[in-house]
Structure 1
C-alpha cells in the first residue's frame, strides 16, 4: 500500500477543512494505509455530562478513516459510510482516532478505527470503535 499523499500534504488537506480547524484537529501520523488524527479536548467539545460529545467522536473516526484510506488509495477519496460503537464515555485531555486499512482494492477500502482518549499522564483509553468504506472518487 504505497501512499500518493505525503504527510505534509495530508496536513494541508486537513487544514483546508473549516470544520477540522474549528475543532482544532491535527494529523499526527500518516502513511502505509494508516492515519492518526488528534484534537485537544476543549470545553465546547463536551456534552451536558462532561464527556466528549458523540458527534466529536464520530467526526474524528470519519476523518481518520478517510485519511487512512487516502494513504492507500490516493488523495481523491470520500467516505461511503461508516458505523461507530461507543464503548465507554470519553474523558481525557486529548482525543485520538487511529485508523488503518483492513482491505484495499482499486476503487475502495475498508478501514477500521479505534477512538481513544488520552489522560494527562498519557494513558490511552478506548472509547469507540468504527469501521467504514471509503471510495476512490477520482
Structure 2
C-alpha cells in the first residue's frame, strides 16, 4: 500500500479497495478486499484451475501471496498506508480446494513503527463449508518518515 505517510482517517474500505486495484498482480488474480479496519483485513479470491498445482490443489504461492497481502493490509489499519512486509512465515495445514480462498488477518500487536499480524487462510466449498488450509504470521514495518 502506498499513500499518506501517517495514519489517516481516510483509510477505509474504499481506500483499501483502491490500493488493491492498483496492484497489477492482485488484479491478475482477481483478488477482492471485503473487510478493512480496526486491525483487520480480509482478502478473497475465486479459485480457478489456473491457480492449481499439478495435484489439483491451490498452489502454495497463491496462499503465500494472499497471506502476505492480507497481513500488510491489516497492519495498514494500525500503522497507516505506508507499510511493507518485513517478513512472514506460513504453515500449510491441509491442501487448499474449494471455490473461494479467504485470507483473514488480524493485528496481534502494534507499536509506532511495526505490527505483528496473524492470518488464517480458509477455503469455502460449493456447499459453503469452510476449511482452514494455512496459518501465517508476519511483521510489517511503517515506511513513513517520523
**Shorter-normalised TM-score: what interval?**
over 0.9
Structure 2 partner of 1:128: 134
Task: Note the residue ranges of structure 2 that are not aligned, 5 or more in a row.
Answer: 1-6
Structure 1 partner of 2:53: 47
1:16-55 deviations in Å (ceiling 9; x for gaps): 0000000000001110000000000011000000000000
Q: How many residues are treated as equivalent by the alignment?
A: 138
Q: Is the 8 A contact 1:111 1:131 kept in 2?
A: yes
C-alpha RMSD of matched pairs (Å)? 1.3
Task: Note the residue ranges of structure 1 that are not aligned, 5 or more in a row.
Answer: none
Aligned residue among 6, 16, 24 for 1:10:
16
- 2:32 matched to 1:34? no
Structure 1 runs (4+) greater than 2 angstroms displaced: 1-4
The TM-score, its normalising length taken from structure 2, stands at 0.92
> Which structure: larger Rg?
2
In structure 1, how many angstroms separate the alpha carbons of the residues matched to 2:29 and 2:73? 17
Structure 1 partner of 2:93: 87
The TM-score, its normalising length taken from structure 1, stands at 0.97
Cα distance change on mapping 1:36 and 1:3 into 2, 3 Å? farther
Cα distance change on mapping 1:84 and 1:3 into 2, 3 Å? farther
Displacement of 1:3: 6.0
Q: Is the 8 A contact 1:3 1:31 kept in 2?
A: no
